[in-house]
Amino acid sequence: MRIDSIRRLLLVVCGLLLLILTTFYISLTNGTFDLSVGDIVKTLLRINPVAAHDLVIFDFRLPRIVLAILIGLGLGIAGAVIQGVTRNGLADPGMLGINAGASMAVVLFMLIFKHSLELTGWLAFMAMPLFGLCGGVAAVILIFWFARSNGRLEPQQLILVGIAVSSGFSAITLYLSLKMNPDDFEAAAVWLAGSLHSANWQYITAMLPWLLILIPYIWRKSSLLDVMQLHDETALSLGVPLTAQRQRLILAAVGLVAACVSVSGGIGFVGLIAPHIARRLVGLHHSRLLPISGLVGMLMVVLGDLIGKTIFAPAQLAAGIVISIIGVPYFVYLLFRSRT
């Protein structure tokens, strides 16, 4: 890597980290109950702790911000992987049906099992995310089944099958939600919108193993993702087993997305927009593109959650809705740009 490329990469990383830390600070100090920097420092360092400050910081704001950071990291990297595997800049984790499968499973849990299961401890927090994870994995199994052609996994067919599976799961979700009582329907609607209002440390602990295992694995495959940008015949001539490697990378991306969706609901467009911004900042090499996509994803989700809970206060708008408001025009821009 040339010195100017290293300098540019460091500048981009420092700039993004500064923006994330600034957003972190604003989100931690501002809200219905404002806190000063001194209050936060004293609370974190346990200097004359105040019960009200402990409650606001450790039970409400800090887990919500940390969860937003982890979700943005996972969705941004997963989006870069899916766009790299499919060689399609308009591909998105939501197009593969992962979000729709997880959403369907969670709504099914709320409809059938929520009031019939006696859950305590960790299961009380993690039953719904576990159902969401199973739904996302089920969606990918269906996609792999239908997208195989002559023993190979075709990138373009993968997207078409993913859109079809996503539509099918969305229809089932709508049907199930119409069968719910009003309270459960409201809870499901909030979750499906991509809200982080129920964030807690249990969700964060449940997500961390997926990120700690899958992100290093994906980064180790960054050179393979570069090779996948070539035509299949060229990559095969280099001795790359494309079908097997595509399956492994997609499964790794699925694990990231399912873990994120299962604790936050459907937050769309992060996996679409973050890799595009990262390419403009650091170029096409995935060894740089993957971490920058993760940082951009972090900034998007943290900023979207901050906007949703402050601009519309005392009401709160889900982070998924805020990001969608920004993402739809950007998607239309990318669509027209790809045609020209």
pLDDT in tens, 226-258: 888 877 777 777 777 777 888 889 888 888 888
Is residue 329 within 8 Å of residue 269, measured between CB atoms? no
Q: Give dist(CA 39, CA 48) in Å, integer.
A: 10
Q: Give dist(CA 290, CA 201) in Å, integer.
A: 26
Measured between alpha carbons, how far is residue 102 from residues 50, 55, 99, 193, 260 in Å?
Answer: 39, 31, 5, 13, 10
Q: Give dist(CA 105, CA 289) in Å, integer.
A: 32
**Is the predicted pLDDT of residue 117 greater than 70, yes or no?**
no
pLDDT tens-place string over residues 25-58: 999 988 777 788 888 888 888 888 888 888 889 9
Per DSSP bridges, beta strands 152-153 and 148-149 are antiparallel
pLDDT tens-place string over residues 66-82: 999 999 999 999 999 99
Q: According to the model, what pLDDT value does residue 116 have?
A: 62
- What mean pLDDT do residues 209-214 have? 91
Q: According to the model, what pLDDT value does residue 120 have?
A: 55
Q: According to the model, what pLDDT value does residue 79 have?
A: 93
**Cα–Cα–Cα angle for 99, 315, 318, nearest 5°?**
15
Average pLDDT over the chain reads 84
% of residues, the chain, pLDDT over 70: 94
Structural domains in the chain, sorted by start: 3-339 (1.10.3470.10)
Highest mean pLDDT among 13-27, 227-241, 257-271: 13-27
Half-sphere exposure of 217 (CA within 13 A, CB side): 17
Q: Give dist(CA 327, CA 276) in Å, integer.
A: 12
Q: According to the model, what pLDDT value does residue 339 have?
A: 65
Q: Establish whether the linkage from the previous residue to 314 is cis, with ω within 30° of 0.
A: yes
**Cα–Cα–Cα angle for 220, 222, 227, nearest 5°?**
130
pLDDT tens-place string over residues 291-317: 999 999 999 999 999 998 888 777 788
pLDDT tens-place string over residues 129-180: 777 778 888 888 888 888 877 767 777 787 788 888 888 998 998 888 888 8
pTM of the model: 0.90
Q: Give dist(CA 265, CA 258) in Å, integer.
A: 10
